[in-house]
Structure 1
Amino acid sequence: MKHLNKFLLATLCILSFSTAQAQDDNNPWALGLGINVVDFFPTGEDAPLGGYFDEFVNSGDHWNILPGISRLTIARNIGAGFYFEAAGSVNKIDKYGDEGWDGLTYYGLDGTFNYSFRNDANAGWFDPVLGVGGGYTWIDEEGVATLDGTVGFNFWLSDHFAFNIQTIYKHDFEDNPVRSHWQHVAGIKFALGGKDSDGDGIYDKDDECPEVPGLEQFNGCPDSDGDGIEDRNDECPNEAGLPQFNGCPDTDGDGVPDPKDECPTVAGLESMNGCPDADGDGVKDSDDECPNEAGPKENNGCPWQDRDNDGVLDKDDECPDVAGTAANNGCPEPTVEVIEELNEYSRTILFDLDKATIREESKETLQAIADIMKEYPQTIFHIGGHTDSTGSDSYNLKLSKERAASVREFLITAGIPANRMTSEGYGESQPIATNKTAKGRQENRRVEISLDKDKEMKKSATEDTTDM
Structure 2
Amino acid sequence: MGKVKLLAVAMLCLAVVLSGCGASNTVKGTGIGVGAGGAVGAGIGAIAGNTALGAVIGAAVGGTAGALIGKKMDKQKKEIESQIPEATVESVNDGEALKVTFDSGIFFATNSSTVSDAAKNALSNFAVTLQQNPDTYVKIVGHTDSTGKVDYNQTLSEKRAKSVYDYLLLNSVGTNRLTYEGKGIHQPVADNATPEGRALNRRVEVLILANEKMIQEAQQGTLK
Q: Is the 8 A contact 1:400 1:426 kept in 2?
A: yes
Find out whether 1:346 has 2:85 as its counterpart: no
Q: Is the 8 A contact 2:140 2:165 kept in 1?
A: yes
Q: Is the 8 A contact 2:136 2:214 kept in 1?
A: no
Which of 177, 180, 188 is equivalent to 1:423? 180
Alpha-carbon shift at residue 336 of structure 1 (Å): 8.9
Find out whether 1:335 has 2:74 as its counterpart: yes
Where does the alignment leave 5 or more consecutive residues of structure 1 unmatched? 1-324
* CA offset digits 1:325-346 (Å, max 9, x no partner): 967x99x842397188474272
* Percent sequence identity over aligned pairs: 35
Larger relative contact order, structure 1 or 2 (CA cutoff 8 Å, min sep 6)? 2
- Give the letter for the 2:188 counterpart: P
Which residue number corresponds to residue 137 of structure 2? 380
- Give the letter for the 1:389 counterpart: S
Aligned-partner Cα distance in 1 for 2:213–2:193: 40
- Specify whether residues 333 and 409 from structure 1 end up closer, same or farther in structure 2 by C-alpha distance, changes over 3 A only: farther
- Give the letter for the 1:334 counterpart: M
Alpha-carbon shift at residue 347 of structure 1 (Å): 2.4
* CA offset digits 1:243-264 (Å, max 9, x no partner): xxxxxxxxxxxxxxxxxxxxxx
Which residue number corresponds to residue 117 of structure 2? 360
* CA offset digits 1:319-375 (Å, max 9, x no partner): xxxxxx967x99x84239718847427226421321211111111111121122122
Flag as ranges the 4+ runs of structure 1 deviating above 4 A: 457-461
Where does the alignment leave 5 or more consecutive residues of structure 2 unmatched? 1-63, 89-100, 220-224
- Structure of larger gyration radius: 1
Which residue number corresponds to residue 309 of structure 1? none
Which residue number corresponds to residue 196 of structure 2? 439
Q: Is the 8 A contact 1:399 1:427 kept in 2?
A: yes
TM-score w.r.t. structure 1 length?
0.26
Which residue number corresponds to residue 298 of structure 1? none
Q: Is the 8 A contact 1:422 1:452 kept in 2?
A: no
* Structure-to-structure mapping, 1:244-259, within 5 angstroms: none
Aligned-partner Cα distance in 1 for 2:190–2:184: 14
- Specify whether residues 400 and 336 from structure 1 end up closer, same or farther in structure 2 by C-alpha distance, changes over 3 A only: farther
Which residue number corresponds to residue 240 of structure 1? none
* CA offset digits 1:147-173 (Å, max 9, x no partner): xxxxxxxxxxxxxxxxxxxxxxxxxxx
Q: Is the 8 A contact 1:346 1:365 kept in 2?
A: no
Q: Is the 8 A contact 1:388 1:427 kept in 2?
A: yes
- Specify whether residues 457 and 393 from structure 1 end up closer, same or farther in structure 2 by C-alpha distance, changes over 3 A only: farther
Q: Is the 8 A contact 2:135 2:213 kept in 1?
A: no
- Specify whether residues 376 and 458 from structure 1 end up closer, same or farther in structure 2 by C-alpha distance, changes over 3 A only: closer
TM-score w.r.t. structure 2 length?
0.51
- Give the letter for the 1:370 counterpart: A
- Give the letter for the 1:404 counterpart: A
* CA offset digits 1:246-303 (Å, max 9, x no partner): xxxxxxxxxxxxxxxxxxxxxxxxxxxxxxxxxxxxxxxxxxxxxxxxxxxxxxxxxx
The alignment of Structure 1 onto Structure 2 pairs a total of residues equal to 135
| Structure in which a larger fraction of residues adopt helix | 2
| Structure in which a larger fraction of residues adopt strand | 1
Q: Is the 8 A contact 2:65 2:215 kept in 1?
A: no
Question: Secondary structure, in 3 states, of the residue corresponding to 2:192?
Answer: coil
- Give the letter for the 1:424 counterpart: E
